[in-house]
Amino acid sequence: MWLYLATVLAGLFLLRRWHRERQTVPGLSEKFVLITGCDSGFGNLLARQLEARGLRVLAACLTQTGAERLRAATSPRLQTVLLDVTSSQSIAATAAWVRECVGDRGLWGLVNNAGIAVPTAPNEWLTKDDFVKVLDVNLVGLIEVTLSLLPLVKRARGRVVNVASVMGRISFFGGGYCISKFGVEAFSDSLRIEMRNFGVKVSVIEPGYFKTLITNMENMENNFISIWEKVPKETRASYGENYLKEFLVAVREMQKKCNPNLRLVTDCMEHALTSCFPRTRYSAGWDAKLLYIPLSYLPSALTDIVLSWSYPKPAQKV
């Protein structure tokens, strides 16, 4: 009896959720969305995806080449702007440009997608500047862009969509990437609570490993070798030369397992922007849903055991 009742209640809950999530915001063709990091990857695909759906897309690219290619592949509904999220001057100029574009309507959507993954290496091998390089793009830049455009988003009672990662829940490699994504999660949580009374909804995208990371991983190999060469001899001896070889093998294996279907991520972004009832968090990819997010809820001792299996073994162990 109780099992039957629980099954019925669960079915009704899922049916209600399915119905709510299918309801879309009216007047999408008049709404403006700014996306950062549109040269390639998720940002580029999302810009083309939203433009095809009829939204007015403001695509922020780091390079002129990236901007030109995106404009050539889309309609006049998509406009581009050059943006370096590590430059306050560039952010201010972009905010002024967006203000002119949207006018009194405000900015319906802000998608903070720009990010980098390297330098990445064991924390002991890195310098403060190595951490700062990643944090400036992935976290500090994201925060400054958001603060600069938040008044326009409030005017439209719109959406902020921040791209974090499953590595924002569970960290198993060194460097600034995981730290930055933990920071994105924290900033998004506080912003979501603050913006509730203004009608602004804040969502976080938590992708697993996708093929958009391959370029970064190739850079990671070269970057890892250059960092290794700068590590003090005593530290290198404690890890051993074989550690470097095993790490590079692990990186190559990770490349092979990256999911090539970027739509799994951009569909989450699109839903967060167009649904009347967007989710607080979106996990994209089966590795995120079935491995990393469940691991994040386990006791740390168990999580450490699972993750340490994939770690190279240093030459000197206690």
The model's pLDDT over 145-156, given as tens digits with 9 standing for 90+, comes to 999 999 999 999
pLDDT class of 229 with cuts at 50, 70, 90: confident
Q: Does 263 have pLDDT greater than 70?
A: yes
Q: Cβ distance 173 to 152 under 8 Å? A: no
CA distance 260 to 257: 9
What pLDDT score was predicted for residue 19? 60
Whole-number Å distance between alpha carbons of 123 and 177: 11
Tell me which of 1.10.10.10, 3.90.1200.10, 3.40.50.720, 3.10.20.30 is the CATH number of domain 23-210+260-293: 3.40.50.720
Whether the CB-CB separation of 247 and 199 falls below 8 Å is answered with: no
Judge whether 297 counts as a catalytic residue. Answer: no
* Cβ–Cβ under 8 Å, residues 190 and 146: no
pLDDT digits (tens, 9 = 90+) for 87-110: 999 999 999 999 999 999 999 999
Q: Which residue type does 244 have?
A: L
Residue 226, pLDDT above cutoff 70: yes
177, 209, 239, 243: which one is catalytic?
177
Tokens of 68: 């030109």
Q: Identify which has the larger pLDDT, 174 or 253.
A: 174
Tell me the average pLDDT across 253-267.
84
Which residues are bridge partners to 33 per DSSP?
A: 57, 109
The answer to pTM > 0.85 is: yes
Nearest CA to 91 out of 163, 41, 156, 143 is that of 143
- Pairing mode of beta strands 109-112, 56-61: unpaired
Domain boundaries, the chain: 23-210+260-293
Tens of pLDDT, residues 39-86: 999 999 999 999 999 999 999 999 999 999 999 999 999 999 999 999
Tens-place pLDDT, residues 166-207: 999 998 888 999 999 999 999 999 999 999 999 999 999 999
Higher pLDDT, 185 or 307: 185
> What percentage of the chain exceeds 70 in pLDDT?
91
Mean pLDDT of the residues in the chain: 89
Residues ≥6 apart with Cβ < 8 Å to 32: 55, 56, 57, 58, 98, 101, 102, 105, 106, 107, 108, 109, 156
Mean pLDDT of 196-219: 81
